[in-house]
Amino acid sequence: MKILTGPLMPIVNAVTEAITVRGLHKRYKGHVAVDGVDLDVHRGEVFALLGPNGAGKTTTVEILEGFRKRTSGEATVLGVDPHDADAAWRQRVGIVLQSTGEFDDLTVREVVHHFAQYYRNADDPDAVIERVGLADKRGARTRVLSGGQKRRLDVALGIIGRPELLFLDEPTTGFDPEARREFWGLIRQLAAGGTTILLTTHYLDEAETLADRVGVLVGGKLVAVDTPARLGNRGTDGATVGWRTPDGPRQEQTDTPTAVVARLAEQFGGEVPDLTVTRPSLEDVYLRMIGAGE
């Protein structure tokens, strides 16, 4: 997708896009939090919004969730302006904040069943508990759940209404590596079921693993949108070929790594000692983008 620039453009394809934004601005006194963002999120995709603290991620997402009023620009979410959205629209959207709330004296089953009453077409609470991996904790008080288990409960509350679109705000902050990977499996299941997901995260490996596309916000501006593999020309950037010689390790920057490897193989008469071929990682590209933007 190309980033749109220039004058405010009319919103198109609102039916085929889960989220469509044109010229989005949010200004506070003496501060611009969101500065002319244009964005499309396709139905059925996982879209990760990246950026340093203060880049405008939370403000943008809160506008799309209908929690914050924009200064100017246009936005539709599931075909509706979120600022004017009604209860019927809310039934179609799931939101998982960094912390949904505390229910220390209630069991997992009690919490999920209670939230199901808010939705006309709620999913089966016990099936949702099973789906998020809390079946063996359904009778446990929420105060005894681990951090990862509480986050799964947050997701259960976010999806109990069978949302078409799910907002996830930094869902695995504070998770240990094992819990993060278990949670990624849950997100993959939701995406495979057709749920559109807008994810904010500070973890580049999380974005690379889960997202169909990523967008990078810097200083309130959306500076790039692409797949993780192609972001910032990552897929075509020069490669670094490394190998070991009797005098120590060597490296060569090249746009034709295959040719370099072939030359080295001929030079060594076969296997090249400690051969590596690497291109910039998503983290390399991201850091370059936010450094340039700042």
Instruction: Name the token pair of 293.
Output: 């933007």
- Looking at residue 87, what is its pLDDT? 92
- Looking at residue 99, what is its pLDDT? 64
User: Predicted confidence band at 116 (pLDDT cuts at 50, 70, 90)?
Assistant: very high
Average pLDDT score over residue span 138-144: 93
Pick from 98-102, 157-161, 169-173, 200-204: least confident: 98-102
**Dihedral pair phi/psi, residue 282, rounded to 5°:** -60, -35
- Looking at residue 11, what is its pLDDT? 45
- Looking at residue 104, what is its pLDDT? 84
Tens digit of each residue's pLDDT (9 = 90 or more) over 62-95: 999 999 999 999 999 999 999 999 999 999 999 9
Q: Average pLDDT over the chain, rounded to whole?
A: 88
pLDDT of 20 above 80: yes
pLDDT of 9 above 60: no
User: Could you give the C-alpha distances from 275 to 243, 249, 256, 257, in angstroms and in order?
Assistant: 5, 10, 15, 11
User: Predicted confidence band at 234 (pLDDT cuts at 50, 70, 90)?
Assistant: confident
Q: What percent of the chain has pLDDT over 70?
A: 91
- Looking at residue 172, what is its pLDDT? 83
Tens digit of each residue's pLDDT (9 = 90 or more) over 186-217: 889 889 989 999 999 988 999 999 999 999 99
Burial 160-178 (b: 16+ CB within 10 A, else e): bbebbbbbbbbbbeebeee
User: Predicted confidence band at 292 (pLDDT cuts at 50, 70, 90)?
Assistant: low
Burial 204-218 (b: 16+ CB within 10 A, else e): bbbbbbbbebbbbbb
Whole-number Å distance between alpha carbons of 123 and 115: 11
Average pLDDT score over residue span 250-259: 89
- Looking at residue 178, what is its pLDDT? 82
Whole-number Å distance between alpha carbons of 109 and 129: 7
pLDDT of 285 above 90: no
Specify the DSSP element, H or E, that contains 50: strand 46-50
Please write down the HEC assignment for all residues of 169-212: ECCCCCCCHHHHHHHHHHHHHHHHCCCEEEEECCCHHHHHHHCC
| Collapsed DSSP state (helix, strand, coil) of residue 270 | coil
**Dihedral pair phi/psi, residue 132, rounded to 5°:** -90, 5
Residue type, 55: A
pLDDT of 2 above 90: no
pLDDT higher for 120 or 237? 120
User: Predicted confidence band at 8 (pLDDT cuts at 50, 70, 90)?
Assistant: very low
